[in-house]
A and B are shown apart, each in its own frame.
Chain A
């Protein structure tokens, strides 16, 4: 038996074939014709058997191996072990693309009340895991450093291992904040939108605060080390930063991993950046121009080698199973199973974007409250759409094993999830990325191969990353 193959013509090099386990090869149209019409030749069958696309029976090793590879392609979830905590919605910035509908720094009533803190601690205490990761979001979480310290102290006592990420704008960095960040299991995630002018335009709105941020980021990295700090640019791609200037902005801090994020269609950005709903071509244009610049840079200046985080993630998902920790790209994308968001008022959400949508009034995606517990029927309803395997569009797509689902994004942009998948932002973004990955995998360009091998974690000099089936000799 031949395991089902999906196919997609590539722009060059032939037609890509992939099975449900993500095993792939590039062949030609005559092979496709023979496969579809049931006229495979002995050499076709030999090739398919050799590369794991066929088995003799349901109990032979090839069949069982195929089942195992399919299983490995699916994200599994253990106990809930990742919590996003929002101790305050207040913020000392008002970024143009703010996704969370933050409130002004002095607004009352937008911090955890004492009974909410107690409920959060009880919630954490009742988790079945011994290993916890806590992400502090906001607002600006450093406005309530006292609450961060209480959570930290509790988790250190309660769990065998605990890791913390503070998502902060780094506008205020005093001795107490520095001391907190110096703890070995506390990591920092901040935003760096490019050079000072770009950062100022998008975020701080004035030179003084911009200078303070750049100085705080510099001194923090000097103190705690670059490995504890990640900085992410949000790209206003209607007016994007110069690519070289963006790379230089990261270079000055020794940051080598850049995660380009488009302005999202959430929160204030729905008004301030309304173009973000449908302008995927514009985003893809900037994204791939950036990628090409990185490839050029890496080849000419290999001592300062860069990666684009999301492209590397997608590449990893193509080449290997098990890269399922990025919750925006996995299949199945179970909601409220292994991670959850607890808002400033104790409301539970399946994702941070669901929190934004609810607060923005588009749809109520809350799934309970930390005091009263989880709304299990609502979670079950959302999780009916966790899989992409049998979606009427994805079932034909060779990229299905590498891709994921994001019903919250579909709801945000289109107000529904039953739209033509191929026309959605999510699908068009990932189709373009996977198309690009396969064009790179089958490229002979030395510059492309230089970056691709390192992004894939393969040694220099590795030969073919992708199998070709040259069936031109077949009858």
Chain B
């Protein structure tokens, strides 16, 4: 699907995902779809693709996608520590 869709004028290669972030792609795309209604994100061939992106928004969208991956990874990686902190705070 990846190479085919890349030929489409309305599909943009947004972000090459390193192996480190692959486990977080699904969560990031779910959130990106929620934040950017009207843009269809997909993951194929190690790349996050976006359909329906105005050319003028490509640069900021690339940054948004990278940050979405960062945020999901930080959130998931820090979840045990955050849970421990709030458990201790609540005295449980």
- Same complex for A and B? Answer yes
B35 neighbours in A (Cβ, 8 Å): 420, 422
**B-contacting residues, A1-37, CB 8 Å:** 1, 3-7, 9, 20, 32-33, 35-37
List the one stretch of A64-72, A170-178, A237-245 in contact with chain B.
Answer: A64-72
A420–B20 touching, CB < 8 Å: no
Any chain B CB within 8 A of the CB of A395?
yes
Known: A4-B82, A36-B70, A37-B20. A395 touches B89 (CB 8 A): no
B89–A396 touching, CB < 8 Å: no
User: Whose C-beta in chain A lies nearest to the C-beta of B35?
Assistant: A422
Any chain B CB within 8 A of the CB of A114?
no
B75–A396 touching, CB < 8 Å: yes
A4–B89 touching, CB < 8 Å: no
Interface residues on B, range: 20 to 34
User: Whose C-beta in chain B lies nearest to the C-beta of A21?
Assistant: B85
Give CA–CA (A36, B85) in the complex, Å: 20
Known: A36-B74, A396-B71. A3 touches B81 (CB 8 A): yes
User: Whose C-beta in chain A lies nearest to the C-beta of B64?
Assistant: A9
**B70-90 to A contact mask, C-beta < 8 Å, 1/0:** 110111011001101110110
Contact of B81 among A1, A6, A422 (CB under 8 A): A1
Which 9 residue pairs are nearest across A and B when measured between Cβ atoms?
Answer: A4-B78, A36-B70, A396-B71, A4-B82, A36-B73, A67-B89, A71-B89, A36-B74, A37-B20
Give CA–CA (A66, B70) in the complex, Å: 23
Give CA–CA (A3, B80) in the complex, Å: 11
- Which residues of A are in contact with B by a Cβ distance under 8 Å? 1, 3-7, 9, 20, 32-33, 35-38, 58, 66-67, 70-71, 389, 395-396, 420, 422
B74–A395 touching, CB < 8 Å: no
A66–B89 touching, CB < 8 Å: no
Distance in angstroms from B87 CB to nearest chain A CB is: 11
User: Whose C-beta in chain A lies nearest to the C-beta of B37?
Assistant: A420
Distance in angstroms from A365 CB to nearest chain B CB is: 28
Give CA–CA (A4, B78) in the complex, Å: 6
Contact of A4 among B63, B69, B70, B74 (CB under 8 A): B74
B70–A67 touching, CB < 8 Å: no
Give CA–CA (A422, B31) in the complex, Å: 12
B69 neighbours in A (Cβ, 8 Å): 36
User: Whose C-beta in chain B lies nearest to the C-beta of A8?
Assistant: B67
Known: A4-B78, A396-B71. A58 touches B20 (CB 8 A): no
B88 neighbours in A (Cβ, 8 Å): 58, 67
Give CA–CA (A420, B20) in the complex, Å: 29
